[in-house]
Structure 1
């Protein structure tokens, strides 16, 4: 499939600009039509094997003069062509006008697509820069969110059935929605709806993670110790993850970011006048905006029920959106993308 698509791409690049395909085809059809008329005029002479054989016989050269018959056939063909010349020219001109108008219409649509696409790309870049968490923005924010996810995933309560079945999915949902007065009921309802067989342990997991969150409510990582009846605040720092205020939720940033990303890719995928290699080329422009950590978080989002439309719709495999993903980033989360996406040739 890749070889066929590459050949189509090469042909398209060679012939597209000057309409050589169209005019070459018209020329071939025109000459075919001319020769068709010519042979029809000669059919009685050239189509009769016996007469043709006699005309080539040395004994009957005078009786069957080839040159005279050939001259007569040429004369007849010339008369037929002269009578139909205007018709032929009119047909070729009409086809040329129709094809040119269709080509201009297609090019106009493609130009509108390019204008809209680069506007989508601009908004996509702005969305990346607007993502902020714990004082970090843009691609640095993705690193921070992935570290938070790794911490929640690592500390997920192991005494639950969901630990083995949906550990990563639930961890991502808690990081995405967060835990708090308004967000906890949302994430609880969402999990109970998506995973009805685990309703009994949802509150157990929420209570555990709420206690985990309380350890990071102080921005200065301060903890209190008692010495000889006096209370002192000691400043601490999580050297492994450098986290503050975990499980506050990132749905306002990530939700908008992923919705717009999906809209952009589907806009490319569903545009009718693009060849596949053109769609793939535009998708590569989007893929080039990913950093290592943002693409890792993207595929984790696709594994979750929030973004599984990326996998179910075959968009990831179709455009190799995670081709540049460092595979090692997902190993701590128990995911092997090489097995899940065998058709993608990962670069790292």
Structure 2
């Protein structure tokens, strides 16, 4: 609009100037003024003529020139601004797709050796994610069996219980606090493992949230599980795992008091026959060195995209969708349970501060990061209970039917 106005005024001044010249020449000729070559020039009269042209018409042309110069500078400034925006977008896209390539490389570098079906197998790339997620589900079932009470007070400290209740109030009243606690414990055990270092980290993490009389015994129970390569001991573990909870509780009560010197347990008893005093590799060895970098990079990639204030939400979602297309179903499932654990709640439940208050912080929901999860739940953990506003693919298929 401004450009059209300035252009109109400049041309108006030029036209008025030209009309003024023509009119003045016509009027001068009509009054007897002549500039013929065969006549002497009257410099007094012609000088006055020049003064008029320079003073009146020249001013109009000067105004027109000034407006056109201003318009040129303005167009140049706009072009520079457009170039800057384009350069920023190009820089963003280079960084974004470089992050995408790094994610692919992170997945491509994953390897895991695990005993299965009587032999040691080597898993690579996305196969590793599936095996790790299977370990989470194993641990979740075992934690659930050991944690039979549905009263959150039996597990959590009051402060952490209040924190979980805050999530329920904000997200969905149907969320089970006990289920959230089980998910958190199972994920952290899978992530850190139950080796010496892993157990130290777990105890430090758990003491801020859970009651020691609960999680001490739970960790002892989970540590009893050996790797499958230790066939005889693993068969004994399966017997223990299949015990009814009252019998299992009695067994733990027998073993736990002598946890620091299990040689004292009577070898003639069933508890002594487990030979827990002998060295064996724990089933849950931990995956922090595999998943730590994987999740840090994945989260930072989405945070980098999300904090761009020069990109609208529609475009952000399109870029995020491109990244999500690289995630397998098991990767999305692992993101789901990671986001419900205390080390992954920054995805949505307890987000980090953003660069602008208008930037959304619900990364799982906004980018539909778990959109492609099959069915409605994982071993009873319903997706839409924790993320009710995600546009799940399974829900879309249901509507289509």
Q: TM-score range by the shorter chain?
A: 0.5 to 0.7
Aligned to 2:258: none
In structure 1, distance between residues paired with 2:386 and 2:11? 58
Distance apart, 1:344 and its partner CA? 2.2
Distance apart, 1:323 and its partner CA? 1.9
Q: Is the 8 A contact 2:226 2:233 kept in 1?
A: no
Correspondence 1:295 to 2:332: yes
Distance apart, 1:296 and its partner CA? 0.7
273-282 vs 89-98, greater mean Cα deviation: 273-282
Distance apart, 1:104 and its partner CA? 1.2
Match of 1:344 among 369, 375, 390: 390
Match of 2:323 among 280, 283, 286: 286
Larger Rg: 2
RMSD: 3.0
Q: 1:285 to 1:33 in 2, by over 3 A?
A: same
In structure 2, distance between residues paired with 1:306 and 1:143? 20
Aligned to 1:199: 212
Aligned to 1:97: 76
Distance apart, 1:130 and its partner CA? 2.1
TM-score by length of 2: 0.58
In structure 2, distance between residues paired with 1:93 and 1:107? 21
Distance apart, 1:272 and its partner CA? 3.6
- TM superposition outliers: structure 1 runs of 4+ over 6 Å: 34-37, 78-81, 219-222
Correspondence 1:129 to 2:144: no
Match of 2:92 among 109, 113, 121: 113
Q: 1:331 to 1:201 in 2, by over 3 A?
A: same
Aligned to 2:6: 30
In structure 2, distance between residues paired with 1:179 and 1:123? 30
Secondary structure of the structure 2 residue equivalent to 1:345: coil
May I ask how many residue pairs the two structures share in their alignment?
A: 261
Secondary structure of the structure 1 residue equivalent to 2:196: coil
Correspondence 1:175 to 2:190: yes
In structure 2, distance between residues paired with 1:80 and 1:343? 66
Q: Is the 8 A contact 1:130 1:253 kept in 2?
A: no
Secondary structure of the structure 1 residue equivalent to 2:102: helix
Q: Is the 8 A contact 2:226 2:234 kept in 1?
A: no
